[in-house]
């Protein structure tokens, strides 16, 4: 497995396994277990996914030494703020049955993110988190957070796939030495990604699947990626992407697919902000 070096010296696998939209506990536990058995060591979850307990059971069941794993979870909007973050962190840690986290992210750029960040800085200083970061921030909000706090986020996790390549955001992350991480690397199956002729031709050229081509494209860009699947054969397939390389010409072909638009609603839409403010969960 290839690793990336974060801005605090911590190494993070460039390929991991995500569990967004796997709320069924048994299904989630089995999927994470299969991923760990296939060789994945980065597991990405969140309090809002309502499956931290299942992830924790899979980790324990795997028997893999804790120091070999890189576990990420995220703070939800309703727990934003200094005290809320401290409490939410402990709850997540307990659900995961862990003594520390490798990466803790602010899940959405809403609420008292500055109070949350101060709490996360303290948890980091106490050794309870190896790295802290954010998710779904627009570039201006990321820079504002960096300029007004002591610790620069180690990771920024954002929607990144062939149809929304985040080129400009990636440039900002590079400028401030923040690791780019992709969620939804396969565009959640939207835009007929698996029937896209550019990607199909590249898959045929390399004797790989469309998924493998996309994941390899991301990792060659230096982007950490966390594909999700509940099917063992797909989990294994998505892991086997390091035995081929995409040429610069092929990278440029994929670049032509960029629409520069998210496949979801804008985080800057006032109605979307209201939606997140009112979205309460039992976590």
Catalytic center residues? 49
Q: How far apart are CA 185 and CA 248, in angstroms?
A: 20
**Other CB atoms closer than 10 Å to residue 115's CB: what's the count?**
15
Q: Please count the residues of the chain.
A: 283
What b-and-e string marks burial along 27-43, b requiring 16 or more CB atoms within 10 Å of the CB?
A: ebbbbbbbbbeeebbbb
* Kind of pairing between the strands at 11-13 and 17-18: unpaired
Question: For 112-247, where are the alpha helices, taking DSSP H only?
Answer: 113-125, 139-147, 167-175, 197-206, 210-220, 232-239
How far is the C-alpha of 51 from the C-alpha of 166, rounded, in Å? 28
Burial of 242 (0-12, 13-18, 19+ CB in 10 A): middle
* DSSP secondary structure letters along 182-214: EESTTGGG-TTGGG-HHHHHHHHHHT--HHHHH
The residue among 76, 26, 2 whose CA lies nearest residue 242 is 2
69 by Cβ neighbours in 10 Å (0-12 / 13-18 / 19+) ranks as middle
């Amino acid at each position: 497995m290839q690793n990336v070096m974060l801005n605090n010296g911590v190494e993070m696998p460039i390929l991991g396994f995500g569990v967004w939209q796997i709320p069924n506990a048994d299904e989630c536990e089995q999927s994470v277990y299969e991923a760990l058995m296939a060789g994945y060591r980065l597991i990405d979850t969140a309090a809002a996914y309502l499956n931290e307990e299942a992830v924790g059971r899979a980790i324990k069941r795997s028997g893999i030494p804790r120091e070999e794993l890189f576990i990420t979870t995220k703070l939800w909007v309703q727990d934003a703020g200094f005290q809320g973050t401290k409490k939410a962190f402990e709850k997540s840690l307990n659900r995961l049955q862990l003594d520390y986290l490798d990466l803790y992210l602010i899940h959405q750029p809403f609420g008292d993110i500055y109070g949350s960040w101060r709490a996360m800085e303290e948890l980091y200083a106490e050794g309870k988190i190896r790295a802290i970061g954010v998710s779904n921030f627009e570039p201006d909000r990321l820079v504002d957070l960096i300029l007004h706090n002591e610790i620069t986020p180690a990771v920024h996790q954002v929607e990144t796939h062939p149809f929304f390549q985040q080129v400009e955001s990636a440039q900002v992350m590079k400028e401030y030495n923040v690791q780019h991480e992709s969620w939804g690397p396969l565009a959640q199956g939207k835009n007929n990604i698996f029937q896209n002729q550019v990607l199909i031709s590249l898959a045929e050229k390399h004797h790989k699947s469309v998924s493998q081509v996309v994941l390899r494209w991301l990792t060659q860009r230096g982007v950490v990626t966390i594909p999700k699947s509940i099917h063992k054969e797909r989990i294994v397939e998505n892991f086997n992407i390091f035995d081929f390389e995409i040429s610069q010409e092929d990278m440029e072909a994929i670049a032509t697919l960029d629409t520069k638009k998210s496949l979801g609603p804008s985080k800057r839409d006032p109605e979307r902000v209201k939606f997140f403010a009112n979205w309460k969960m039992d976590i």
